[in-house]
Amino acid sequence: MKSNIYLLILLLIAAINPIYAQSCTCESNFQWMKKTFEENDAGFKYVINNKGRDAYEAHNQKILARIKEAKTKEECVAILSDWIKFFRAGHAYVRSITNNNTTTTTPTETPAPANWETVSIQLDKFKQQVAAKKDPGYEGIWSSPPYTMAVTKKGEQYVGVIVEASAPAWKPGMVKFRIIPGKDTTKSVFYMRNFSSVGSNKVIMTGHNHLQLGNTILKRIYPDNLQDDPNINEYYTSMSAEQPYLVKRNENTFYLRVPSFNQAYRDIIDSLLTANKAALLKTKNLIIDIRNNGGGSDATYSPIIPFLYTNPIRGVGVEYYSTKLNNQRMLDFINKEEYNFNAKEKAWAKTSYDKLEQHLGEFINLQERAVGIDTLPNVYPYPQNVAIIINEANGSTAEQFLLEAKQSKKVKLYGVTTFGVLDISNMYQQESPCKDIELGYSLTRSLRIPDFTIDSKGLQPDYYIDKSIPPYEWVNFVNTILND
């Protein structure tokens, strides 16, 4: 009798919520993701209007055909990610959820797949062999915390093999990455902490002691007697900096490195500039290096603006796309401690929520004006020249900073065109009904559209730094221009 009651309860649950009664497949996740994105993403209709409904339907058919062939979750997520790329290169994503236990704040370590490739290395003998080579190339021992890896040649490829790792699932002997030399391009495959793979055509050896595989930077720790140009060491120190720092390069120039506009760095930037304000206001030049800065919070760069300000700064606003799901974020701001909203901010969120709920299916400008104009009380004579160094990895809030900064008469941008991901923004995340993937999409579109779009275009430098000047020389190059 008891078992019949349990069966009845299960049937009732299935009737109320049939999605949980079904098996979770790649196709069911795709249909959920597609529907959620179509109904809620602020950029969906904009892209369809530009690319056409026929192109979109053809894209869907190709993706669906690939989904039917997917055999693993990793393959599925990769295909779903390709579906997202139809719309834009950033501010949208899909990723795997590996930890469904929401009662703990400690992520579950992904176990190593069965039969993961291993390579046996006798470390002392390997060191002797590498040390005997005049130019060991990729071979040697490299560090990319939390991993120490030995790189050895295997056939026509090179493999990075774990020597030490603080990530519990990664054991000595396991293959962490591979480098695949080719006739025209050298490629790499780097296996992340959760054993997913990231491929790249960007394999760069700079000097003897620094190796870049995509966005992963490795530093050689053996052999340890190979000398490099000091500029190379300085470059990789700055590119691997975990937080902003400020130094005086010479009598006329300060250098501010900002690797990210993460909100956690706002107080650090503010403290650096406050502590050095007197010296900055007596120094002719300021170099701000934001290479590889992918964004963060607008509030983080606000302490920098007074040092480059010359005239009122105009900022074009955004419109929020109002749907039941999207408007929930305003309630999250009020109810979830992780956002750390104060009483004033919560009042704004409640007013915004009420307004959005009255205009479901519409785009709403919560500021009630298209353009904001910021006027500061002081225009400082110094710094007289502000050079901002940019590259192809700058996007989102980093590009918003550039839009504001380049309105100053003091500022010039040096480098190459930025990534281009700012028109559709303000991301929100949703977990799939099967709780195994997460979809990130955007809630707002810029009022710059269509007159001044940045997505897929980027912002161009005032002074293009061509490929004949290696990245580790960019700061010296800009410094020379400013001081000449």
Q: Residue 10 falls within a domain, yes or no?
A: no
| Whether 29 contacts 97, CB under 8 Å | no
Structure tokens at 27: 């196709």
Whether residues 272 and 408 fall in one domain:
yes
In terms of phi and psi (left: phi > 0; alpha: psi -120 to 50; beta: otherwise), the region of 458 is left
pLDDT of the residue at 7: 42
CB 339 within 8 A of CB 280: no
257 and 369 within one domain? yes
CA 147/CA 299 separation, integer angstroms: 34
Whether residue 8 is contained in a domain is answered as: no
Q: Indicate whether 282 belongs to any domain.
A: yes
434 and 471 belong to one structural domain: no
For position 4, what pLDDT does the model report? 47
Task: Note the pLDDT of residue 101.
Answer: 41
204 and 267 fall within a common domain = no
On whether both 80 and 173 belong to a single domain, the answer is no
pLDDT at residue 341, rounded to an integer: 87
What pLDDT was estimated at residue 108? 57
Residues 394 and 296 in one domain: yes
Domains: count for the chain: 3
User: Containing H/E element for 271?
Assistant: helix 266-275
| Residue the block writes with tokens 């050095």 | 276
Query: Does residue 323 contact residue 361 with C-beta atoms inside 8 Å?
Result: yes
Classify residue 116: in a domain, yes or no: no
Residues 89, 149, single domain; the answer is: no
Give the domain-ending residue among 181, 207, 226. 226
Q: Looking at the structure, tell me whether residues 165 and 216 fall in a common domain.
A: yes
Answer yes or no: do 154 and 283 share one domain: no
Residue 435: give the domain boundaries: 22-98+430-441
Same domain, 150 and 216: yes
Residue 273 included in any domain: yes
Same domain, residue pair 31 and 165: no
Note whether residue 448 is domain-resident.
Answer: no
- Strand blocks (E) in 203-356: 203-206, 210-213, 216-222, 245-250, 253-257, 285-289, 313-316, 318-321
Residue 9 confidence (pLDDT): 41
Q: What is the CATH number of the domain that holds 406?
A: 3.90.226.10
Q: Any idea which residue has 């250098």 for tokens?
A: 255
Residue 336 lies in a domain: no
In terms of phi and psi (left: phi > 0; alpha: psi -120 to 50; beta: otherwise), the region of 472 is alpha
Residue 17 within any structural domain of the chain: no
Instruction: List, in sequence order, the alpha helices (H) in 305-449.
Output: 305-308, 324-335, 343-357, 397-405
- For residue 283, the model assigns a pLDDT of 98
Structure tokens that stand for 194 in this block: 């959760």
Do 157 and 251 belong together in one domain? no
Low-confidence ranges of the chain (pLDDT < 50): 1-22, 100-107
CATH number at residue 66: 3.30.750
